[in-house]
């Protein structure tokens, strides 16, 4: 049996937390041979702490063989102590009529504090996934607030967008979703994101050629993927939770255990490639192996794509400017 690893989850009593923790504890994220210690953070309010207690009782009641320990706390330095993985979910969600960036100033302070706490007490190799919105800029804030940790280990979740795009493409082309490869979602987790299937294949053949519908791409597919979060809020009255938790599991699992040669989308600090300034947390295609992700390099950027990639970049730069005063 492997030694247990420590997985910190913030916002553990929230709706994503409730869909996420049980799957981590059952081995779906890190493997069926990897024991985990869950270190869960919630707000210091009585209601949040009581709800967290309830979640911990239910985790116990599952008798997961891989669950080697559970810690519930309102102190970030307890939750992140020696953490090997940190899933930063805890943040306010948007409601109907809001954009994710409307949450920026309210949620930003969470990520300066949690970045600093990770910097102080987490494992030096901690792998961080930011889910709380606006996810890219919150990941940027956490990364900048943790100067002693490897910036490459701060990532934002665009996997839900990637998975949404896969399903839309599979429906349109009438192919099984699992047969589609080489999809990318560039940029920000916001309506400006650019889902790009120019390179996508189905059983090795071009999906773009098979669909062959530029109008559908520009006027249906791209906006539909970009606004899917809002459509879920409209339908449910609450933002996506089960699909968000599922995407978080996919993101971490592929990062840690490898993507099997397949492209997946991760929001990662830019290395300057594709005309994205260094350090901006931007969705790019990566392949992961042995716990390390590598960008897919050298993809052609045509005029349509350049315009789309620059638009989402401009929004990220605007968000970054909006939080610069918090970062000293």
Ligand X SMILES: O=C([O-])CC(=O)C(=O)O
Ligand Y SMILES: NC(=O)C1=CN([C@@H]2O[C@H](COP(=O)(O)OP(=O)(O)OC[C@H]3O[C@@H](n4cnc5c(N)ncnc54)[C@H](O)[C@@H]3O)[C@@H](O)[C@H]2O)C=CC1
| Residue numbers annotated as active site | 189
Minimal distance in Å, beta carbon 24 to ligand Y? 15
Q: Which does 232 bind (CB under 5 to 8 A by kind): ligand Y, ligand X, none?
A: ligand X
Q: Does 252 bind ligand Y (CB under 6 A)?
A: no
User: Closest CB to ligand X among 133 and 246?
Assistant: 133
Minimal distance in Å, beta carbon 230 to ligand X? 6
User: Closest CB to ligand X among 160 and 280?
Assistant: 160
Nearest residue relative to ligand X (C-beta): 229
Partnered with residue 109 across adjacent β-strands are none
Q: Does 145 bind ligand X (CB under 6 A)?
A: no
Token duo for residue 123: 């494992």
Q: How far apart are CA 314 and CA 321, in angstroms?
A: 11
Q: How far apart are CA 142 and CA 327, in angstroms?
A: 10
Residue 106: helix, strand or coil by DSSP?
A: helix
Token duo for residue 196: 């790009």
Residue 106 CB neighbours (<10 A): 10
Write the interaction track for ligand Y spanning residues 47-86; mark x where CB under 6 A is met and - where it is not: -x--------------------------------------
**What residues numbered 9-68 form the site for ligand X, per CB under 6 A?**
none
Burial of 124 (0-12, 13-18, 19+ CB in 10 A): exposed
**Is 286 known as a binding-site position?**
no
Q: How far apart are CA 58 and CA 144, in angstroms?
A: 36
Q: Which does 267 bind (CB under 5 to 8 A by kind): ligand Y, ligand X, none?
A: none
Residue reference for tokens 């599991």: 249
Q: How far apart are CA 270 and CA 280, in angstroms?
A: 5
Minimal distance in Å, beta carbon 27 to ligand Y? 22
Q: How far apart are CA 228 and CA 171, in angstroms?
A: 15
Ranges assigned E (strand) in the chain: 5-10, 36-41, 67-73, 85-88, 127-130, 154-156, 180-181, 184-186, 194-196, 201-202, 205-206, 264-269, 281-289, 292-295
Q: Which does 35 bind (CB under 5 to 8 A by kind): ligand Y, ligand X, none?
A: none
Q: What is the largest CA-CA distance in the chain?
A: 56
The stretch among 36-44, 143-151, 256-264, 305-313 that binds ligand Y (CB under 6 A) is 36-44
User: Closest CB to ligand Y among 93 and 285?
Assistant: 93
Binder among 232, 248, 249, 316 for ligand X (CB under 6 A) = 232
Binder among 88, 104, 160, 207 for ligand X (CB under 6 A) = 160
Binder among 15, 188, 239, 246 for ligand X (CB under 6 A) = 239
Q: How far apart are CA 199 and CA 202, in angstroms?
A: 10
CA angle 91, 94, 98 (to 5 degrees): 145
- The count of chain residues that interact with ligand Y, using the rule CB under 6 A, is 29
Q: Does 100 bind ligand X (CB under 6 A)?
A: yes
Binder among 94, 208, 295, 311 for ligand X (CB under 6 A) = 94
Which residues sit at the interface with ligand Y, rule CB under 6 A? 10-11, 13-17, 41-43, 48, 89-94, 110, 131-133, 135, 157, 160, 189, 239-241, 244
Residues at the annotated binding site for substrate? 94, 100, 133, 164
Which residues sit at the interface with ligand X, rule CB under 6 A? 93-94, 100, 133, 160, 229-230, 232-233, 239-240, 244
């Amino acid at each position: 049996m492997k030694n247990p690893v420590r997985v910190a989850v913030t916002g553990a009593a929230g709706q994503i937390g409730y869909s996420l923790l049980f799957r981590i504890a059952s081995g779906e994220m890190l493997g069926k041979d990897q024991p985990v210690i869950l270190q869960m953070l919630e707000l210091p309010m009585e209601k949040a702490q009581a709800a967290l207690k309830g979640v911990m009782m239910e985790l116990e009641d599952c008798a997961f063989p891989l669950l080697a320990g559970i810690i519930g706390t309102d102190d970030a330095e307890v939750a992140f102590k020696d953490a090997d993985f940190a899933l930063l979910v805890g943040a306010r969600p948007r409601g109907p009529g809001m954009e994710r960036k409307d949450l920026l100033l309210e949620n930003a302070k969470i990520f300066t504090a949690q970045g600093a706490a990770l910097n102080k007490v987490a494992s030096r190799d901690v792998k961080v996934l930011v889910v709380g919105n606006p996810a890219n800029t919150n990941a940027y804030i956490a990364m900048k607030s943790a100067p002693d940790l490897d910036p490459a280990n701060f990532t934002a979740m665009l996997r839900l967008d990637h998975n949404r795009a896969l399903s839309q493409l599979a429906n349109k082309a009438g192919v099984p979703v699992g047969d589609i490869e080489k999809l990318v979602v560039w940029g920000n987790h916001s309506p400006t994101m650019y889902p790009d299937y120019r390179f996508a294949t189905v059983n090795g053949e071009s999906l773009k050629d098979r669909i062959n519908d530029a109008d559908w791409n520009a006027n249906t597919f791209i906006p539909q993927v970009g606004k899917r979060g809002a459509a879920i809020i409209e339908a449910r009255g609450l933002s996506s939770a089960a699909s968000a938790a599922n995407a978080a599991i996919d993101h971490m699992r592929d990062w840690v255990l490898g993507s099997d040669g397949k492209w997946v989308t991760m929001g990662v600090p830019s290395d300057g490639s594709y005309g994205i300034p260094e350090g901006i947390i931007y969705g790019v295609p990566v392949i992961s192996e042995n716990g390390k992700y590598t960008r897919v390099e050298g993809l052609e950027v045509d005029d349509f794509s350049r315009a789309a990639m620059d638009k989402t970049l401009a929004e990220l730069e605007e968000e970054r400017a909006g939080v610069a005063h918090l970062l000293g």
